[in-house]
Every structure is written in structure tokens, then in C-alpha cells.
């Protein structure tokens, strides 16, 4: 069984001092010793090895940053390992929630589910496409930009938010509202 990195130090002050000094050996051992538990958690909860690597790296950096900023101080030998794992766990849960909320749905699924049964009638499709185009032009500039970036350019909500000066949550809400508005406009024409 591998010995905890913290037990290699006489006290937690030495460990924190080594972490603040960015001691490569200590950082590598801390990373290596704590990764397997986080990986196991992600894999057991619908994730992949790549997901586990991403989440753990984010968690490790967050824990390191909090130690650098004196926002976290390990009180005992296992506190740092537990802290890193908790951050990784919550980051994975957040990612699962975000993925569930941000499930990409094609415009066909969202705007025209009532027309899927009539696909053999091409003239109806042409009319519908014209209605969507006309309604899209009548949306506000912000809505057109958000929907175009998300559905046509396949940009993430984070990228859209940074380009529009919005928060990611606001961009998500605006995308939903804009899509609802477009649906209503298409239904009434």
C-alpha cells in the first residue's frame, strides 16, 4: 500500500510549504497518489478515463490554487487527499448536470416535431423552411446571434457567453427563450 504523501512530512506546515514552493516531486506524488480514487468515482458514474483525467486535473489545480491563496489548510494527514477528492467529485457532478441540461437537440427535433409525419410532402417542407427563415429574420439581433452560434457554428454556451459578454447561465437561458420565441413565431405564421 502506498504511503500518503502527507505522512512523508514531519508536519502539515512542511507539506503546505512544499506545495506553495511548487515542489515538483511533491506535486507529482500528490497527483499520482490521489488520481486513482477520483478516476474510479468518475468511471463508476457514467464517465470515461478522459473525463476522469479532465475532472481530476481541474480539481488538482483548484486545490493547489486554494492552498496558494491560503483558502485551505490541511489539518491532518488525510485532509488534503479528501479535499482534492471532494473537489473532483463535485466537478464531476456539475459536469453531469450541465451535460443533462445542455443536451444538444437538432432544430428539426425542437421546432418541427409536428411535421415529421408529413415528410413525404416536400412542398410543406419548403413552406416550413421559408417560415422558419422569415421568423428567424424577425427575431432580435441577440437571439439570432445566440441561435446561429449554437446551432449552426456549433459553439459551446461558454464560448457564446464570452463573445456576447453574458454569463454562461444567462446565455443558456437566452438560447432557450429565443428558441421558444422562434417556435411561437413559426406556429403563428
CATH code of the domain in which 36 resides:
1.10.1740.10
pTM: 0.51
Distance (Å, whole) CA 178 – CA 181:
5
Domain boundary (61, 79, 101) is at 101
Give the confidence band of 135 by pLDDT, cuts at 50, 70, 90: confident
pLDDT tens across 151-177, in order? 888 888 899 888 888 888 888 888 888
Return all residues near 125 (Cβ < 8 A) that are at least 6 apart. 115, 119
| Residue 102: per-residue pLDDT | 59
Run of H or E including 64:
helix 49-68
Give the confidence band of 2 by pLDDT, cuts at 50, 70, 90: very low
φ/ψ (deg, to 5) at 69: -90, 10
Which CA distances in Å does 52 have to 6, 13, 32, 92, 156? 23, 30, 13, 8, 21
Give the residue numbers spanning the domain of 174.
107-188
The more confidently predicted of residues 15 and 118 is 15
| Residue 110: per-residue pLDDT | 47
pLDDT tens across 65-123, in order? 999 888 888 888 788 899 999 999 999 998 888 877 655 554 444 444 444 444 455 55
Assess whether 71 and 114 both reside in one domain: no
Which CA distances in Å does 133 have to 16, 89, 91, 128, 172? 60, 44, 39, 9, 22
- Give the Cα-Cα-Cα angle 59, 64, 67 (nearest 5 degrees): 125
User: Mean pLDDT throughout 17-22?
Assistant: 88
Give the confidence band of 41 by pLDDT, cuts at 50, 70, 90: very high
Judging by beta carbons within 10 Å of its beta carbon (0-12, 13-18, 19+), is residue 171 exposed, middle or buried?
A: buried
Assess whether 53 and 124 both reside in one domain: no
Share of the chain above pLDDT 70, in %: 80
Assess whether 116 and 178 both reside in one domain: yes
Amino acid at each position: 500500500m502506498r504511503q500518503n504523501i502527507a505522512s512523508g512530512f514531519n508536519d502539515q506546515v512542511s507539506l503546505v510549504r512544499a506545495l506553495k514552493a511548487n515542489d515538483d516531486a511533491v506535486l507529482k506524488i500528490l497527483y499520482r497518489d490521489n488520481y486513482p480514487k477520483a478516476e474510479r468515482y468518475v468511471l463508476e458514474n457514467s464517465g470515461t478515463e478522459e473525463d476522469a483525467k479532465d475532472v481530476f486535473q481541474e480539481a488538482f489545480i483548484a486545490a493547489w490554487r486554494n492552498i496558494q491563496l491560503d483558502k485551505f489548510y490541511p489539518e491532518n494527514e488525510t485532509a488534503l487527499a479528501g479535499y482534492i477528492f471532494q473537489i473532483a467529485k463535485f466537478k464531476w457532478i456539475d459536469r453531469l448536470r450541465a451535460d443533462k441540461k445542455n443536451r444538444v437537440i437538432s432544430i428539426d427535433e425542437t421546432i418541427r416535431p409536428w411535421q415529421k409525419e408529413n415528410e413525404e410532402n416536400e412542398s410543406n417542407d419548403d413552406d416550413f423552411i421559408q417560415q422558419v427563415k422569415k421568423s428567424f429574420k424577425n427575431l432580435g439581433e441577440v437571439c439570432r446571434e445566440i441561435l446561429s452560434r449554437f446551432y449552426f457554428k456549433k459553439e459551446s454556451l461558454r464560448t457564446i457567453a464570452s463573445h456576447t459578454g453574458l454569463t454562461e447561465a444567462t446565455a443558456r437561458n437566452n438560447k432557450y427563450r429565443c428558441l421558444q420565441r422562434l417556435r411561437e413565431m413559426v406556429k403563428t405564421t
